């Protein structure tokens, strides 16, 4: 008797499942348009951009100014500033990196002037707002913000190993002063391996040279991308 009662129940379940699948398959696409998310559903009281402006930015178009007054800002950690503020070799090397980036921008006929935003104009931990305001004071159209980190791979720090391998990572963005937008950003990481040279008396001297070569590789890579960006935009 129990088996007889189960047959109609099973049949009902099978029919119900089949009907549900048919309804789901035949549901018009238009019914899902009401659930399409087109703006933020989060309430962020600390947001610096309104919801309306977020929509305008994401749906809008951007065009790089025809004539560019360029400013540079190098971001450093507080530890780097404390450790190397009076290191002559370090300061000269950092200036060489800046000059290398600046020379790439000078290749573009759109660049009319290049300057560096002094540290005294920006805070020790600068924000985009702080940098942008400083650039306004220099009447710059765009700000090139970059940071460089480098070190020697730990397994190559043993004195008995004749080879030294270093890596460097350079990050660079272009900030449009008028709009606050970032039309260009890139990160490059490169390795460089070499041996201690005869004229180098200490391991630190060899390490610094090899790190420097690794940084130059990242700058070369980013410079090519900068030139391509300026030509296309």
Cα 30 to Cα 28: distance, rounded to the nearest angstrom: 5
Domains of the chain: 64-232 (3.30.160.150)
Q: Which residue has the higher pLDDT, 86 or 141?
A: 141
Confidence label for 3 from pLDDT (cuts 50, 70 and 90): very low
Short-list 85, 90, 101, 69, CA closest to 188: 101
144-200 per-position pLDDT tens digit: 999 999 998 866 555 555 688 999 999 999 999 999 999 999 999 999 998 887 777
What CA dihedral angle connects 116, 119, 123 and 125, to 10 degrees? Answer: 80
Contacts of residue 137, Cβ cutoff 8 Å, sequence gap at least 6 = 121
Return the pLDDT at 14. Answer: 44
66-114 per-position pLDDT tens digit: 999 999 999 987 566 555 656 788 889 999 999 999 999 999 999 999 9
* Pairing label, strands 163-176, 184-195: antiparallel
């Amino acid at each position: 008797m129990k088996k007889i009662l189960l047959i109609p129940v099973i049949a009902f379940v099978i029919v119900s499942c089949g009907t549900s699948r048919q309804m789901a398959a035949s549901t018009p696409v238009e019914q899902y348009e009401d659930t399409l998310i087109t703006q933020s559903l989060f309430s962020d009281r600390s947001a610096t951009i309104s919801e309306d402006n977020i929509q305008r930015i994401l749906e809008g178009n951007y065009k790089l100014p025809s004539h560019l007054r360029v400013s540079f800002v190098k971001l450093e950690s507080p530890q780097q500033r404390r450790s190397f503020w009076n290191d002559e070799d370090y300061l000269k090397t950092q200036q060489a990196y800046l000059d290398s980036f600046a020379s790439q921008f000078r290749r573009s006929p759109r660049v009319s002037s290049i300057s560096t935003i002094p540290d005294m104009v920006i805070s020790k931990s600068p924000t985009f707002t702080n940098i942008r305001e400083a650039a306004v004071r220099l009447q710059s159209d765009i700000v090139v913000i970059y940071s460089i980190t480098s070190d020697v791979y730990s397994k190559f720090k043993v004195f008995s190993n004749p080879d030294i391998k270093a890596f460097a990572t350079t990050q660079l963005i272009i900030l449009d002063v008028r709009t606050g937008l970032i039309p260009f950003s890139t990160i490059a990481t490169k390795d460089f391996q070499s041996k201690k040279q005869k004229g180098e008396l200490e391991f630190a001297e060899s390490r610094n040279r090899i790190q420097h070569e690794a940084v130059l590789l990242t700058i070369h890579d980013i410079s090519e991308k900068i030139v391509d960006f300026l030509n296309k935009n």
